Amino acid sequence: MNPSPNQLKALLARRQSVVAEQHQRLARKIHDEISQKLTVLALQLSFEASGSKSASDWPQKCHDWSTLVIGLCRSVREINDDLQPRILEELGLSAVLEWYARTHGTDLRFSFTPPSHEIPLPPAIAAELYIVCRELLTQLFPRIGATHVHIKAEQSDGLLWLHLRGDDNGFGRKTNPERDLDVLSLHERVVRLGGSVQLATAPGSGTSITLSFPSSAVAVLEPKPAFTQQYAENAHC
């Protein structure tokens, strides 16, 4: 698949559009979940500093402020995870995909099957693969009508495999410029990492995307402790 000059221009424009959408989403989240809460907290503290303090309701007010600060910490961590999940650096690609499947998904639900052994990857490649999977889950699969996507990671035959399967109705015959550009962008990015893409889609049978990468230079390690939901719930800011 060799994109033409016009396709390359369209790919660049599409990438810029995707990045702009992500920036807008994060900006809205910062405004709605952080800026507004900080404003409320500042007003409450200012009011208490200038007014009389009632000993009877002071403990409750301190508790309310503490709850607000904890919520702010949680929002900051969620935004940080959107940009670069800490678990990706600490536990690797499989763990971050499992975390994503457990902590994300409303209209589009996710599930994840981990590999039998931990798959170590260079940090730059692991980060790029996570971004690729995240964009498939937030851009491509919702656009084709999927309500559930199953993700499976495995290592076999000297290859690292990432399988994503949606329960959509397939692409059908109708073209979609944005969808087609997303597929072309996926191919170009995975090939740049030294991998390949297999896409299977048909009306009524869903869409399957398989990413494969040579793992001959990657040692198979003993499995790390299974990631649990408590990681996200108990992590400190």
> Residues 87-109: pLDDT tens digits?
888 888 888 888 888 888 777 89
Q: How far apart are CA 5 and CA 11, in angstroms?
A: 10
pLDDT of 6 > 90? The answer is: no
Average pLDDT, the chain: 76
Residues 6+ apart with CB under 8 A from 208: 163, 164, 165, 166, 198, 199, 200, 201
Model pLDDT, residue 8: 60
Question: How far from the centroid of its chain's Cα atoms is residue 193's Cα?
Answer: 19
* DSSP label of 118: B
Host H or E run for residue 154: strand 148-156
Q: What is the DSSP letter of 53?
A: P
Percent of the chain with pLDDT over 90: 10
Mean pLDDT of 33-53: 76
Report the pLDDT value the prediction gives residue 93, as an integer from 0 to 100.
86
Can you give the pLDDT at residue 235? 45
Q: What pLDDT is attached to residue 222?
A: 31
pLDDT tens digits for 174-227? 667 777 777 878 888 888 888 889 998 877 778 999 998 876 544 333 334 444
The domain limits of the chain are 5-83, 91-214
Q: Any idea which of 134-143, 158-167, 226-235 has the lowest mean pLDDT?
A: 226-235
For residue 126, how far is the Cα from the chain centroid? 13
The pLDDT, as a whole number, for residue 221 is 31
Most confident of 39-53, 71-85, 147-161, 214-228: 147-161
What type of residue is 151?
A: I
| Whole-Å CA distances, 146 to 118, 127, 142, 165, 231 | 29, 25, 6, 9, 28
Q: What DSSP string describes 204-231?
A: TTEEEEEEEEE-TTSPPBPPPPPP-THH
Where residue 121 falls (left for φ over 0; alpha for ψ -120 to 50; beta otherwise) is beta
User: 229 vs 53, which has greater pLDDT?
Assistant: 53
Residue 82: predicted pLDDT: 73
Residues 6+ apart with CB under 8 A from 195: 211, 212, 213, 214
What does residue 149 show for φ and ψ, rounded to 5 degrees? -125, 125
Q: Which CATH class is domain 91-214?
A: alpha beta
On whether the pTM is more than 0.85, the answer is: no
Mean pLDDT of 43-56: 69
Q: In this structure, are residues 93 and 119 in contact, taking their beta carbons and an 8 Å threshold?
A: yes
Look at 230 and 112; give whichever has higher pLDDT.
112
- H-type helices in 51-115, by residue range? 58-83, 86-91, 93-103
pLDDT tens digit sequence for 138-158? 888 888 889 999 999 988 877
